[in-house]
Amino acid sequence: MNLTDEQIERYSRHIILKDIGGIGQEKILNAKVLVIGSGGLGAPVLLYLAAAGVGTLGIVDGDVVDVTNLQRQVIHHTPDVGVPKVESAKAKINAINPDVKVIVHYELAMAHNILDLIKDYDFIIDGTDNFPAKFLINDACVMAGKPYSHGGILRFDGQTMTHVPGSACYRCIFKEPPPKNAVPTCSQAGVLGAIAGILGTTQAAEALKYITGAGELLTNQLLVLDALKMRFRNVKVKKNPNCPVCGTNPTITELKDEEQVVCDLK
Amino acid sequence: MQFYEVPDTLYAEQDKFELDIEEFKKGNIDPVKFKGIRVAHGVYEQRQPDTYMIRIRCAAGGITPTQLKKVAELGDLYGSGEVHFTTRQEVQVHDVKIDGVMPVIRGLNEVQLSSRGGGGNTIRNILTSPDSGVSLDEVFDVDPYAIALTTRMIHETDSWNLPRKFKIAFSKNSDDDSITQTTCLGFVAQVKDEQKGFAVYCAGGMGAKPMVGHELFDFVPDTKVYHVTKALKVMFDKHGNRRSKFSSRIKFLWKKLDREEFVRLFAEEYDKIKDDASLNLELPTLENAALDATIPVETAQGDAFELWKRRYVSAQKQAGLVSIKLPLVLGDLLRKDADKLSAFLAEFGENTIRCDRAQNMRLRNIPEAYLGNAFNIISKLEHTLVGHAPFIGNMINCTGAQTCKLGICLPRGLSSHIRERLTSSDLDLDAIPDFRLNMSGCPNTCGMHHIAHLGFFGKVGRKDGDMYPAYNVLTGGKVEMGHTQYAERQDELPVHFIPDFAHDFLKVWIDRKVKGTYDTYYDFLEAEGNDLVKSLCAQYKDVPTFDENPDFYVDFGAKKRLSMDEIGTAECSAGVFDMIDVDRKSIKNNTKLLDQELGAEEDAKVLYRILFSSARMLLVTRGLDANTDEMVFSLFIKHFIKTGIVSDEFEDVVKVGRDASKDELVLHKDKVLGLAAAMTALYESMDDSLRFKTKDGDVINEIEAAEEESSATPKSSIIEKDFRGVPCPMNFVKTKLVLEAMKSGEFLRIMLDDGEPIQNVPNSVKLEGHKVLSQTQLGAFWEVLIEKV
Ligand code: HEM
Ligand code: SF4
Ligand SMILES: [Zn+2]
């Protein structure tokens, strides 16, 4: 593939980067990334990946845009209220960058469909709002051998990590979802919208680094943000040999849906 | 009367010059040497071969009616028939053949004018405010200082061989209309405690590397003008960089030394002479008054007369006298017009004409009663812009590619098109009489775009690989004592959109100006003007492809498509070829000497000269500059022998020349002559891009050996890319993309524009880890050789 003149101009600031260059940009243009959830985290992820020229962007979301989303889900705008989020997101992506092919999945990622959803993509992004989904995505990616970025936000806090086959997975650290109602739901707890931006753009950067091979990924470490003090900590984590999904003797060999209140505050 | 006195030695120099011309015509003086001789006499070669222009000094921009009449007559007899008024407040005669040069120069003697120092590394024409002495708001008249200083400086023999040109200007008040901060040395009239004096600025300059001048003194008494000038001259003479023509002006000395060291070195010289009152200038009395005229008073009436008065006539501080501005078309005055004007002006005296910096004439000391006469004469002159608003005549442009080999675009053509566009519009140009719309054909500032309110300088635009003429757009040049600032580049435009752009932009500014929306033009730029430029440029971005509209790719006033082949390379090669010629001739002449059996000792010297010239001759084509013989030989080995351009069978003899005694060379006579022949053949195979060809016409792609080890690399082909006209950072982006596709160890040669591109791209390439083997300036652009790592 050869970059067109228009592309050379559009992506010149990437091409200039020593670690990306024209070769890296071509990789980006050929990459396929699936974003599960186009809410608080998914919105910045999609916007930046679209601008970066990721060749194919898949979006999984079964929701429609609600007015309470607008405080942080920056890809959706006021006139979009009532529109399926996947459609609203797709329209913005097309406007940002016609190079990007958008595939929409107007459904929730569930045990029955997730393997099918992720199978054609090079990198998966967890932009979901609830623990069952996060564990489901982790398990599916581990089983399918897909790299993915985990992200989560609540109140003024956030965390993210990147998993690639062989590195620590989400279940290595957190065995299972907390019991129902043990953590406040997001609608009760609230979240600072900008936190979604910080974490989402971090996940987007991880995806681009993975695609181009630039630098070191957030693997085997959990990046934890305390925005009230505006402190980032990199907590070292290890692959757990007793991990129920990626350990030596995995106990989870089949995907199943776990029950949890769905947060309306993604 | 006269505006300066020429030294008596001048006449002897002219006799010598006449002999030199004869020798040059016979081929006994080579062109480079002759160039040095003639330029010092203000004689420049034009783009057309064997055609010269002669630049005539007019201190303080002054020329008398008698002198003007004579210049016009000489121009008519020996040149193009016009007097050209320049941006340097002087006049020129154009299109003079070699046999006309001496008659013009001798003719000038009759009226005490001189072209000596019109060019060359000397004190150039000294500028002043064109209305100094008559202006209502001046601090005092600065013309006498410029005149006295000119006479003094051109009598000092050491003024004629400075490291580079030395420009001086005087302004009548803090408006600084002589733009002192753009010159080497500038004086701005001030009065402090009833003492006349000057604020002094120095080390400014425009050109491709513009620098705003710095304050040297906030006040010196007016008696010290000479002392300051002399001290700076001596300091410049001692410390200026004589080696590189491109970095030798005083501004570069300041940059190199920093303020403290510069001022210290200056003070060293100044302190030696500053208390010597015998050095004070003797100021001439320069009366601004009118003789009683003998011609009958004519009257003029009507709207045209009133409009002309409003536009072009201003009262002087001398009661009853007026000054008149006479806008010329591109600075040219026909002989017959010059005759009419001279006759009229002579009625009122000799102190009646100044040249201004917008290539126009200023008439002064005209009794108000004779305005009718003046109008009747002026409105009948053939080649003026007097029917238009002053804005039109104030536009400045260089001649550009028409006569100048460095030119990319043809600003004369653009100027005419802007003029037509604006004068056929309904814009109220009388609202902006002082607006400076200046344009240059390339980044050199002959058209003074740096100080433009709205400026343009030529560049190459590109669409799908096709080049079209374009200009950078600048705004915000400002002139004011101590606060001068250069215009900043905002965007760029294809030349064909500029007339409409200029119209659209000025329409808004005139509207705001008339309404008084802003205090100054600069407030306007900040609030909306610069955004307006950008949005208009965005609007005028649609460049048709060559197939859609081939005319778009032809400059205004040009006959064919814009092509880089005639620009830069041609001019640069011309310069380079001049230098090569010196060595070629030396090889030829010295080889002849060998036949004369002068003895071994003499032969050894001759052989050494041949060897030296052979080694040096083509170094310049690689941008190499050697200041010792040893370096010449070493560079030659490295860049010609190690690279495989020249056979290594000559390496030993070059080393003998470098390391051993000359006497040994007699033993290697055949090798020396063999090398001379090889170099001559190589020279003859060289094309305009300074590349060498084999006998079969293939381009030899040498590998430049930056380090000894790379000489071991086998020859490989060099990929060539032309990124001229591609702005930063896209030029780097494209370079990088080419490099990525190459294999390690391969070579890439790119062409880049001067300025930002050459400053940035090689560094960025290095940061990527590649090797930059050489960068060579070829006129307005650069060639950079890169090895992919
Ligand atoms: C062959 C090339 C060149 C030619 C024929 C040329 C010609 C001229 C002429 C004729 C003027 C006076 C303008 C007029 O009133 O008509 C001028 C002014 C000027 N030239 Fe050049 N020029 C050349 C190259 C350069 C270069 C290379 C530079 C700078 C690096 C330069 C810098 C200037 C500046 C700064 C002025 C005017 C402003 C001033 O100092 O008052 N010129 N040139
Ligand atoms: S500005 Fe450029 S084109 Fe114009 S005269 Fe000077 S060198 Fe030539
Ligand atoms: Zn695990």
pLDDT of residue B243: 46
In-domain check, residue B482: yes
Q: b/e for B57-85, b at 16 or more Cβ within 10 A?
A: bbbbbbbbbbbbbbbbbbbbebbbbbbbb
Nearest residue of A to residue B769, measured between CA atoms: A18
Could you list the mean pLDDT of each consecutive 10-residue stretch along chain B, which spans 789 residues?
A: 85 89 86 77 78 91 96 94 90 92 95 81 88 95 95 78 79 93 93 95 83 92 94 81 55 82 91 92 93 91 93 95 94 93 95 94 96 94 90 87 69 92 94 94 85 92 82 94 92 95 97 95 96 94 89 86 53 48 84 83 89 88 68 85 85 87 85 92 68 52 34 53 86 89 87 88 89 80 87
Place of tokens 């690689």: B622
What is the rounded average pLDDT of the residues A221-244?
93
Residue B117 contacts residue B124 (beta carbons within 8 Å): yes
Q: What pairing do the DSSP bridges indicate for beta strands A32-36 and A56-60? A: parallel
Residue A70 contacts residue A85 (beta carbons within 8 Å): no
Question: Taking Cα atoms as reference points, which of B719, B787, B732 lies closest to residue B761?
Answer: B732
* Type of residue at A169: C
Instruction: Give CA separation, B175 vs A82, B41, B85, B478, B574, in Å.
Output: 65, 34, 23, 10, 41
Instruction: Give CA separation, B277 vs A21, B222, B226, B285, B430, in Å.
Output: 68, 12, 10, 20, 49
Phi and psi based region of residue A181 (left: phi greater than 0; alpha: psi -120 to 50; beta: remaining):
left
Residues B580 and B645 in one domain: yes
Of A5, A18, A23, the CB nearest to B768: A18
Per DSSP, A261 falls in state P
* Type of residue at B542: D
- Mind giving me the DSSP string for B130-180? TTTTT-TT-SS--HHHHHHHHHHHHH-GGGSS-SS-B-EEEESSTT-TT-G
Q: How many domains does chain A have?
A: 1
In-domain check, residue B597: yes
Q: Whose CA is nearest to atom 2 of ligand 2?
A: B442
Cβ of A3 within 8 Å of Cβ of B734? The answer is no
In-domain check, residue A50: yes
CATH number at residue B415: 3.30.413.10
Report the alpha-carbon distance of residue B151 to residue B158 in Å, rounded.
14
Altogether, the residues listed in chain B come to a count of 789
- Which residues have C-beta within 8 Å of that of residue B289, sequence separation ≥ 6? B318, B321, B349, B365
pLDDT of residue B156: 79
Residues B583 and B543 in one domain: no
Domain span at residue B502 reads 408-553
- Give the residue from B541, B732, B733, B735 with the most A CB atoms within 10 Å of its CB, the best one to mutate: B733
- Using DSSP, state whether A256 is helix, strand or coil: coil
* B405 CA: nearest ligand 2 atom: 8
Residues of B in contact with A15 (CB under 8 A): 733, 736-737
Q: Phi then psi for B337, rounded to 5 degrees?
A: -70, -40
Of A5, A9, A16, the CB nearest to B736: A16
Give the distance from residue B761's alpha carbon to the nearest chain A alpha carbon, in angstroms: 11
Question: Taking Cα atoms as reference points, which of A40, A104, A106 lies closest to residue A70?
Answer: A40
Spacing, Cα A238 to ligand 3 middle (Å): 9
Cβ of A12 within 8 Å of Cβ of B730? The answer is yes
Give the distance from residue A19's alpha carbon to the nearest chain B alpha carbon, in angstroms: 9
The pick from B47, B412, B440 for probing ligand 2's pocket by mutation, whose C-beta has the most ligand atoms within 8 angstroms, reads B440
A60: β partners: A36, A105
pLDDT of residue B403: 61
Asked if the peptide bond before residue B729 counts as cis, ω within 30 degrees of 0, the response is yes
Domain span at residue A223 reads 31-236
Spacing, Cα B709 to ligand 2 middle (Å): 42
Report the alpha-carbon distance of residue B331 to residue B53 in Å, rounded.
15
In-domain check, residue A216: yes
Q: What pairing do the DSSP bridges indicate for beta strands B361-367 and A221-226? A: unpaired
DSSP H helical ranges for B491-561 = 498-515, 521-524, 530-539
Question: Taking Cα atoms as reference points, which of B149, B144, B95, B142 lies closest to residue B117?
Answer: B149
pLDDT of residue A262: 43
pLDDT of residue A147: 97
In-domain check, residue A23: no
User: Would the CB of B399 count as within 6 Å of ligand 2?
Assistant: yes
Residues of A in contact with B767 (CB under 8 A): 18
pLDDT of residue B709: 30
Report the alpha-carbon distance of residue A262 to residue A266 in Å, rounded.
9
Cα three-residue angle B348-B382-B500, rounded to 5 degrees: 120
pLDDT of residue B663: 83
How many Å from the N-terminal Cα to the C-terminal Cα in chain B?
70
> Chain B residues contacting A, CB < 8 Å?
464, 729-730, 732-734, 736-737, 740-741, 764, 767-769
Q: Give the residue from B664, B679, B711 where a domain finishes.
A: B711
Residues B627 and B671 in one domain: yes
Structure tokens at A87: 């459609």
Question: In three state form, how does the secondary structure of B684-705 look?
Answer: HCCCCCCCCECCCCCECCCCCC
Residues B610 and B688 in one domain: yes
Report the alpha-carbon distance of residue B440 to residue B653 in Å, rounded.
49
User: ipTM score of the complex?
Assistant: 0.81
Nearest residue of B to residue A23, measured between CA atoms: B740
User: Would the CB of B484 count as within 6 Å of ligand 1?
Assistant: no
Residues of B in contact with A22 (CB under 8 A): 736-737, 740-741
In-domain check, residue A177: yes
Residue A133 contacts residue A41 (beta carbons within 8 Å): no
In-domain check, residue A242: no
Question: Taking Cα atoms as reference points, which of B551, B565, B407 lies closest to residue B471?
Answer: B407
| Burial label, A247 (beta-carbon count in 10 A; 0-12, 13-18, 19+) | middle
Phi and psi based region of residue B216 (left: phi greater than 0; alpha: psi -120 to 50; beta: remaining):
alpha
In-domain check, residue A145: yes
Structure tokens at A263: 């947060």
Per DSSP, A247 falls in state S
Mean pLDDT of chain A: 91
Q: How many domains does chain B have?
A: 3
User: Would the CB of B446 count as within 6 Å of ligand 2?
Assistant: yes
Structure tokens at A167: 């590195």
* Type of residue at B540: Y
Spacing, Cα B445 to ligand 1 middle (Å): 7
Residues of A in contact with B740 (CB under 8 A): 21-23
A242: β partners: none
- Split at pLDDT 50, 70, 90, the class of A129 is confident
In-domain check, residue B683: yes
- A 10 A CB-CB count for B509 gives 23
Cβ of A15 within 8 Å of Cβ of B733? The answer is yes
Residues B692 and B724 in one domain: no
- A 10 A CB-CB count for B612 gives 22
User: Would the CB of B674 count as within 6 Å of ligand 1?
Assistant: no
Cβ of B737 within 8 Å of Cβ of A8? The answer is yes
Q: Give the residue from B711, B726, B758 where a domain finishes.
A: B711
- Give the residue from A12, A14, A20 with the most B CB atoms within 10 Å of its CB, the best one to mutate: A12
Is residue B58 annotated as part of the catalytic site, yes or no? no
Residues of B in contact with A23 (CB under 8 A): 740
pLDDT in tens, B58-69: 999 999 999 999
